[in-house]
Structure formats: C-alpha cells, structure tokens
Structure 1
Amino acid sequence: MAEAPKAVEPPVRAAVGRHSSIVYSDDRRWAEHLCTFVRDGLDRHEAMRYFAYATEPAQVLRTLSDAGIDAQEAVRSGQLTVTNVAAPHRGDAVFDPDGLIGRWHEGVDAAFADGYRGLRVIGEMSWAERDTDDADRMLEYELRVHHEVFERLPLTGWCFYDRRLMSEERLNVLAGAHLTHRGDSVAEPTLQVAPLDGAPGFLLNGSAGWDTRRTVAAAAAALVRTPHPRPELDFSALQHLDADSLVTLAQAAARRPGGAPLRIRQAPPTLRRLLDLFPELGSTMEVVVR
C-alpha cells in the first residue's frame, strides 16, 4: 500500500505583526483586543490559548460570549483553552526562556496534529511586575522569541500589558521589545532594546548607563543564548554607551559558542574610542558599515 502523503503545513507568515505588545488601561480595551484576537483565530482555524494572571477564566469566556462569540463551543472542541496560572510558563518558580521557546515548538506541532492551521496565544504579562529577576529573564525571552520562534513557526502571540498593574518603566521596557505594538501608546524608556527586523540581532535605542544596567544585562544574556552564529547589534539610535555597558556586551560576545565576533552596526564615536582604550575588546566585536 502506498504511503499516505503528509499534510502540508501552511507557509509561515512574516514574523512582524504576529508577536505584538498589547497595552491597555481599562477593561473595555482589554475586551476589544481579546475579541479581535479570538475572532481572527476562529476565521483562520487556529488553536488558541489564553494564559491568565489577573483575570479569571470565567470572565474571559463571559466576555467572549457577550460579544456574540461561541466561546463554550470553542472550549468544548478544544480549539480554545483558558488557563489561570499564578505566573505564566514558570516551572519550579523559575522563569526559563529556553524551556518556553521549546514548548512553543511543541505547541505548534500539537495544533497541527489536531487539525489546526496554526497556534495563537495570549499571555497576561503583569506578573513580571512582582519579580525583578524574572522580569529581566522576561526581557531576554522577548528579545529572543522573535527570531527563534515567530520567524520559524505559524504562531501568533499577543502579550497583554495592563497599565494599571505595572510600573511605567517596566511596562515600557518589556513592551518596547516587540516590533509591533497595539493598544495604548507607550513612552520610550531610557534604553529600549528590540529585535532587528530582517536580521538576527537587536537594536539599542536611547542611553545605556548605570541606570539601565539590568536592561543591558538582559540584552547580553539574549546574545549569549541566541542560536544564530552571527547576531548583530545596531547602535544607530544609541545616544550614549558607557564603559560598563560595553564590557557587559563584549563579555557576552566572548561567551558565545563558535568564537565569531559580534557585529556592530553604526558604531558611535564613543564606542570606537572605548575600543581604542580597551583593544582586548576588539577581538569580540566587529564594527561593520551598512
């Protein structure tokens, strides 16, 4: 008997627009984003997962039903699940970016196995406000997930940020790590780090100094762990880079497997002067002209 042909997976759409930060400050706006997300999932025949932190699952389902969406049928069929978790995706009280990235691959495989054309996920992110260390790992994750997940998989993820539950600085840093923003506008933090569009790496925007050392450390962790052999840092929007931040990034480049220098786009004069002062850093960083 001839072997049955394998199911053809739909092509992965452009990553930009499928990983979005959703900032809101009232329940009405939360409901609007929720209903838009679920309606799109139903139209596309995609599996949907809602990971709640501050919202009761019953409220999610009631809101959908009030908007004319047959949420109960979507739950019954398995297309929609709503899970109330104290801190999303944490195992043994530790946030693990590597483990979560692996689970997205497993989740998409499971969605295909169930006959869906992709997976879409909402995660309430206000839990990051209560734990500084996990918030730093969360920033590392948000920076990595664009290239490691959304450029490879038919996954749509909306990260819900409730302005009422988070400090403006932390919300702005985490929301700014997405290439697509929906909902309320956010102010640019002192230092914003976001994935590059079209190449593996990150864009630094603003000022990197003592006050932003945790953001720089999260970007450095993302550089160490990203699997891409030649990631880049784009400094074209960077206004200030202190020596400590440069050393943190250079040490991250040195810890990457393979030994290839980290590529730096649009190096500011201050970076070139620092490299002149610390020539040992030159072996870990390569300034490129674009």
Structure 2
Amino acid sequence: MAGMPGAVVPPDQGTAGRHASVVYSDDRQWAAHLCAFVRGGLERNEQMQYFADATDPEQVLHALADDGIDAAEAVRRGQLTVSTAARTYLAGAVFDPDSVFALWDEGVDAAAANGYRGLRVVGEMSWGTRNIAGADRLLEYELRIHHEVFERLPLTAWCFYDRRLVSDEGVNVLAGAHLTHRGGSAAGTALQVAPLHDSPGFLLSGSAGYDTRRVIDATAAAVSHAPTPRLELDLSDLHHVDAASLATLAEAAGRRPGGVPLQLREAPEALRRLLDLFPELGSAVEVVGR
C-alpha cells in the first residue's frame, strides 16, 4: 500500500512543521528528500546531523555532491555531520526515549554554542523493525517528542521511513504519529494516533481492540509521561474501543501526577457505555464535549 504522492508540505515554521515523517520507496526519492533537508539547513544557518541505519554514510555525501551541494565544505566547518543510528537512538544498551530526548537537548545547546540558529536532524528509522532492545518503544518516542521536545527546542527532525525496509503497517502507524508528512501522507490502518497540534494531547482514529494493543500501549506511555497537568484525547474519529484498551488508557492517566483526569473529547457512545459498566475507570478520565 503506497503512500499518496504529491502531498503538500507546509513551510518549516512552528512546532508542527518541524517534526516530519519522510516516506520513500527508492534511492531517487531518498536523495531528493536528503538534498531538500540539507539545503534548508544551509539557508537557515542550522547545524545538521544525519544518522544513517541502512545507508552507507559515504553515500549520503556522494548524493549531496551529485546535486551540487558542497557537502565536504559543510563537513569541514562542522555544519554537517553524517554518522549512524548507533550514535543516537541506539547509543545505549536499550533504546530509551528519555535518553534520546536528553541527546537532543545537548545537541541544540552545542549548535547554539557554535553560532547556529538551531539543530536539524535526519534519522533513518528502519532500525525500529529489527530485534533491538527497546525498539518496541519507537511509536511512544514519536508521539512524545512533539510535546516534550519540539515545544521547547529549536530542533527540526525528519524521520526517514524506507518502504523497502519497513512494512506498510509499520510505516503507516509510525508516519501517522507525525503532523507533517513528506513523500506522501500516511495511509489508514486499524488504529492511528497523532499529537494534537494546538493543545497537549493526542488524536485517535480508527478502532481500538486486541489487534491494536501495541498502538494503545504506546499511547498510554505517552499519556503517562506528558509534562502538562491537563491532557486531552480527541476521540472524534474513533469508531470503536474495547474494554481492555480503555482500561490501559485509564491506568496510564491514573499514573500522572496531580490527579487531574484525562479528558476524553467527543467520546463514542460505546466508550461511554463502558464507563457506565466499569465506573472505577471514571476517576482517571473525564468525558467532555458531545
């Protein structure tokens, strides 16, 4: 199931435009996104880092040179570095979102100290499909980073998803966790979740059940870690939710400090009935709106 071509991409302004999924199916598409990324960084005087997984770092530099970009000079003056995912996402024994968030803090501080306006990062995310400790937390990472990192830091990150290496379902769920899509929008799956653009919280779309437990678990982790006292789940596009999924979200809400219930906006009637059947879940969540 290929992504839809020709997606309109907003300028790199504001929080939503600075965290983008980039989906491609061949080397030509990959190179086009790469060169757009580097040209944008050069124009904005940002420091740039490319973290490869399946791509030879030398291939990155060759692709830039073939497109007329003086990558060697950018590397020489320290504006561009090309290394591997082992230097960031996989630097520890286990992939841990909080550890990677700390690396972005350090990277932004270093870029500012060197006179750059911000940090601009590409990460190839195909490592998330392999049997790597903590790789099952990649969706949690993609969901949390919007509110926990981009709302604080002058960071732009493009997450590269290669359809030759990542399954259609994996691409669509993970790309769907971004607010900006390059190379095509994320196609629908049984359940998708994305950060809300204008308030702290998440939008759930589709149906939540046994087969979507991984998505619900990642959403619950993002809910429990959210830094703001008030948090909202927009359920206006949620068609169905089972009792186990609701319980997982309610338990995550109950772990949040402050005791403020998780707001469920536009909850479907089936969810309201579940809350009637299991009133013990109601202390952690609050249905608002119609």
TM normalised by structure 2 equals: 0.93
CA distance in 1 between counterparts of 2:271 and 2:133 reads: 28
Unaligned runs of 5+ in 1: 1-11
- Counterpart for residue 199 of structure 1: 199
- 1:221 matches 2:221: yes
- Residue 167, structure 1, aligned to residue 167, structure 2: yes
| 1: CA distance, partners of 2:36 / 2:226 | 32
Contact between 1:25 and 1:184, CA under 8 Å: does it hold in 2? no
3-state SS, counterpart of residue 15 of structure 1: helix
Structure-2 separation of matches of 1:202 and 1:41: 29
Counterpart in the other structure of 1:118: 118
Q: Percent identity?
A: 67
The alignment partner of 2:17 has SS state of coil
- Counterparts of residues 226-265 of structure 1 (less than 5 Å): 226-265=226-265
Displacement of 1:131 after TM fit? 3.1
The equivalent of 1:101 in structure 2 is 101
3-state DSSP class of the match of 1:94? coil
CA contact (8 A) 2:173 2:186 kept: no
1:134 aligned residue: 134
What is the letter of the counterpart of residue 238 of structure 2? L
Tell me the amino acid that sits aligned with residue 31 of structure 1.
A
Identify the range of structure 1 (248-257 vs 98-107) with the bigger mean alpha-carbon deviation. Answer: 98-107
Counterpart of 1:34, as a letter, is L
Gaps of 5+ in 2: 1-11
The alpha-carbon deviation at position 184 of structure 1 amounts to 3.3
Offset from partner CA, 1:203-231 (integer Å, 9 cap, x none): 00000000000110010011111111111
Aligned position for 1:179: 179
Distance in 2 separating the partners of 1:131 and 1:258: 37
Is the deviation greater in 20-29 or in 228-237?
A: 228-237
Superposition CA RMSD, Å: 1.5
Contact 1:177 1:193 in 2 (8 A): yes
The alpha carbon displacement at 1:185 in A equals 4.0
Contact persistence 2:85–2:124 (CA under 8 A): no
Q: Please report how far the alpha carbon of residue 136 of structure 1 lies from its aligned counterpart in structure 2 after TM superposition.
A: 3.0
How many Å apart are 1:88 and its aligned residue?
4.6
**Deviation by residue 1:143-179 (Cα, 9 ceiling, x = unmatched):** 0111111122111100000000011111111110000
- After TM superposition, the structure 1 = structure 2 runs for residues 19-30 of structure 1, keeping only pairs within 5 Å, are 19-30=19-30
Name the amino acid aligned to 1:227.
Answer: P
Q: Distance in 1 between matches of 2:65 and 2:172?
A: 32
Q: 1:87 to 1:271 in 2, by over 3 A?
A: farther
- Going from structure 1 to structure 2, the CA distance change for 1:132 and 1:58 (only over 3 Å counts) comes to closer
Partner of 1:275 in structure 2? 275
Instruction: Provide the C-alpha distance between the structure 1 equivalents of 2:31 and 2:262, rounded to a whole number of angstroms.
Output: 43
- Secondary structure at 1:39 match in 2: helix
Contact map agreement 1:64 1:71 (CA 8 A) in 2: yes
Instruction: Output the amino acid matched with 1:288.
Output: V
SS of the aligned residue for 1:197 comes to coil
Counterpart Cα distance in 1 of 2:244 and 2:258? 24
Superposed displacement of residue 132, structure 1: 7.6
Matched with 1:82 is: 82
Q: Which residue of 1 aligns with 2:7?
A: none
Give the letter for the 2:151 counterpart. Answer: E
Please state how far the C-alpha of 1:71 moved relative to its aligned partner: 0.2
Deviation at 1:86, TM superposition (A): 4.6
